[in-house]
Amino acid sequence: MLGTLNGLAQTLSAAGRAAGPFLSGGLFSLATNVRPKGEALAWGVFGGIAFLGWLASFGIRGGDLESGEWDEDSGSQDDEDEDGEDEDEDAYDQEAGIGR
């Protein structure tokens, strides 16, 4: 599920970066012909899109979005093992042949 969401996010981000300059440039060009305060047209459209995205972000729900190591009480990942050391550091030390 998380991989699918990440792929969708990357796809939409790339599409926005590809189409964004073309669409925003065209909107700013159209706004120069609007009198008075035509520049407010472009900023209003972009602000409206951002506001809609902000509202849509409240609809993100799902228990499967968190990893298995996520500790709900502390608000962080639980990476420490029983000796109090970080598991990633232990794995690195083992690969490097370093013993503690």
Dihedral of the alpha carbons of 25, 19, 56, 49, in degrees to the nearest 10: 10
Query: Structure pTM?
Result: 0.50
> Would you state the pLDDT for residue 95?
66
**94 near 81, Cβ under 8 Å?**
no
Write the pLDDT tens digit of every residue in 40-99.
888 899 999 999 999 998 988 776 666 667 666 666 665 555 555 555 666 666 666 665
> Would you state the pLDDT for residue 60?
80
**42 near 28, Cβ under 8 Å?**
yes
**38 near 31, Cβ under 8 Å?**
yes
> Would you state the pLDDT for residue 77?
61
Report the alpha-carbon distance of residue 89 to residue 61 in Å, rounded: 33
